[in-house]
Amino acid sequence: METEPGKIILTWDVTPKNEQKYFEFLVREFLPSMQKLGFQLTDAWVTVYGDRPQILIGAVMTSIEEIRGILDGAEWFALTGKLKAFVINYKQKLTVANGGFQF
C-alpha cells in the first residue's frame, strides 16, 4: 500500500507591534527550521484584504505519519512556541497533499 504525501497548513495573524521582529524570526529561524525538520515548503500567502488569516504557510512531507511524528516532537513545540510570541490565531491543519492550493 502506497502512502500519500502529507501536507501541513499553518495560518495566523501577526500582532501589529511585533511585525519587524516577526519577519526577522520567520526568515532567519522559523522557515529554515521547518526545512531542517524535513518539510518542503510549498505555499506562502499573505491576505491583504478580507476576513481570512493574514498568513498561510503550506509544507509537504512524504506521508501524514511522518508529519505527525514531527508535530509530536519537542523541536516543533519549541519552534511554534517562539512563533506564538509574535502572532495570534495560530492554527495548524494536517491533510493529504493534493498538489494544488489548499486552505
- Judge whether 102 lies within some domain: no
The count of structural domains within the chain is: 1
pLDDT value of position 66: 95
% of residues, the chain, pLDDT over 70: 93
Task: 71-74: list long-range contacts, CB under 8 Å, 24+ apart.
Answer: 71/8
- Judge whether 101 lies within some domain: no
- Judge whether 46 lies within some domain: yes
What is the overall mean pLDDT for the chain? 91
Instruction: Write down the pTM of the prediction.
Output: 0.89
**Per-residue DSSP letter, 52:** S
C-alpha cell at 72: 509530536
- Judge whether 80 lies within some domain: yes
Residue 81, pLDDT > 70, answer yes
Q: Which CATH number characterizes residue 38's domain?
A: 3.30.70.100
Contact 59, 95 (CB under 8 A): no
- Domain span holding position 47: 6-96
Q: Which region holds residue 99: left if phi is over 0, alpha if psi is between -120 and 50, else beta?
A: left
